[in-house]
Amino acid sequence: MDTGVKVWPKDGEAEVVAKGWGGKALLKQNFINPDNDKLCDFTLWGVVKKNGEILLTGWSTIIMAVTEKLEVIAVRQFRHGANEITLEVPGGNPNPKFEDNSPETVGVRELAEETGYTPGRVIRLAPYAFFEPSALVPGYYPCLALDCYRTPGKKENAANEQIKVVLIPLRKYLQMMFRGEILDSKTGHLLAMSLPAILQTDAESLAQKILD
């Protein structure tokens, strides 16, 4: 499909400027502007292995989880970048100690570890999505967990996070989102994509109903 926009070719490999926790890295990457062939450098955030390989795969799974009673399973936690306590949905990264690291399996695993809930079924909402396409190299896999039920003994607390699990009725959750009370952008993106499956309809019908 011709979008009228050209891809900017990379010039050489990305340079690792600095590395932090979990392999997160500040990168410098040169691109060539296809309109005038000028060289432009951009600052990107990526993930780097111990051997220096820059990862373009192994992205996170972010999962919207809903109980049989149509309660959204959300988490409150302090986010260091925002310096605020945010309301979000569960998510996490592939773990090499497990054989199965498909996006859906990662989502189920993270949901159990963070909230103590297990889904009846999981739907992949899109092939992939981006956190911040202008600067962040890794993206995420958006998933939906339906008919979730409590699984005692599953919740774990990692050393680098403190999570409070909250159940919010879907109607109230929608009102909070529309009023701008949920500040995490990926959470809103997931909610919008999840609604057709949650409400057992299709995207066209839901869009028409909203506009009517």
Where, residue-wise, is CATH 3.90.79.10 in the chain?
Answer: 60-199
Query: What's the whole-number mean pLDDT along residues 105-123?
Result: 94
pLDDT at 4 (0 to 100): 79
pLDDT at 52 (0 to 100): 56
Among 66, 71, 144, 153, smallest CA distance to 107 is for 144
Mean pLDDT of the chain, nearest integer = 88
Query: What's the whole-number mean pLDDT along residues 140-168?
Result: 82
Query: Residues of the chain with pLDDT > 70: what percent?
Result: 88
SS3 state at 120: coil
pLDDT at 160 (0 to 100): 58
pLDDT 10s digits, 63-113: 999 999 999 999 999 988 889 999 999 999 888 888 899 999 999 999 999
**Alpha-carbon gap, residue 185 to 142, rounded angstroms:** 13
Inter-CA distances, 170 with 56, 66, 140, 146, 190, Å: 34, 8, 23, 13, 13
Extract the runs of DSSP E, i.e. beta strands, from the chain. Answer: 15-19, 24-32, 39-48, 54-55, 60-67, 71-79, 84-88, 91-92, 117-118, 121-124, 129-130, 139-150, 163-169
The CATH homologous superfamily for domain 60-199 is Nucleoside Triphosphate Pyrophosphohydrolase (3.90.79.10)
Inter-CA distances, 27 with 34, 43, 47, 48, 61, Å: 22, 6, 9, 10, 23
Residue 14 predicted with pLDDT over 90: no
Among 78, 199, 100, 206, smallest CA distance to 144 is for 199
SS3 state at 175: helix
pLDDT at 206 (0 to 100): 94
Of 57-61, 92-96, 151-155, 206-210, give the lowest mean pLDDT range. Answer: 151-155
If one counts every other C-beta atom within 10 angstroms of the C-beta of residue 196, the result is: 18
Of 21-30, 74-83, 113-122, give the lowest mean pLDDT range. Answer: 21-30
Q: What is the pTM for the complete model shown?
A: 0.84
Beta carbons of 92 and 113 less than 8 angstroms apart: yes
Residue position matching structure tokens 């990692």: 158
